[in-house]
Structure formats: structure tokens, C-alpha cells
Amino acid sequence: MTADDSFNRIDDDDYPAYTMGRAAETLGTTQGFLRALGEARLITPLRSEGGHRRYSRYQLRIAARARELVDQGTPIEAACRIIILEDQLEEAQRINAEHHRPAESANPTAAS
């Protein structure tokens, strides 16, 4: 990957730009917490050529939500399950909204 490729991906939420140390520092947590999220399969960091974990901004947002729940006293396993269910609900709502759009545009009086 060239420097130009890296610069073009700077706004990509899925680009694994954060090392484990930097991710933990950004979240104000420990590297062990991030490893635990990986073991619970909430987030799966990509690996550098040297085998080091790399995290994306999207993964950091998920980890931040997990930390929020754990800080409130939720066990880490339960926090991971809650986040997975929240994500599934959001996806189901998005799909449901997509299915309603064509019906509403085909029958504008039904939407009123």
C-alpha cells in the first residue's frame, strides 16, 4: 500500500488504522479489555504483517459502547451480547424501512 492509498483511506471507518496500544489509550481502557472483546468475538481486529492487532474507527465505537456497559456494571459477556442484539435490531429496522419505502411510493394515500 502506498502513502497515497493510506491517505485516501483516512476517512474510511473500516480502515484498521489503530494499534492495540493506541486503541486502548483512545478508549481509556486496557489492552486486556480489547483482547477480551476479541475473545468474545464482538470485534475481530485485523492483523498487520507482523501479527499485531489493528483496529478501525468502527471497531473503536463498538468497543466504546462495550466499555460504557461494563462501566455501568454489566458483565463483559452480557455487554457483548447486548451490543450484538442492538446491531441486529438496527439492521432489522433498516431492512423493514427499505421494504416500506416502495409500498409507500406505489400507494401514496396509504402513507397519509
Per-block average pLDDT, block size 10, for the chain (112 residues)? 58 88 96 95 92 94 97 96 96 93 66 52
| DSSP single-letter state for residue 18 | E
pTM value is 0.76
- What is the reported pLDDT for 105? 66
> H or E stretch including 54?
strand 53-55
- What is the reported pLDDT for 111? 52
DSSP-assigned letters across all residues of 39-62: HTTS---EE-TTS-EEE-HHHHHH
Dihedral angle computed from the Cα positions of residues 19, 22, 26 and 30, in that order, rounded to the nearest 10 degrees: 90
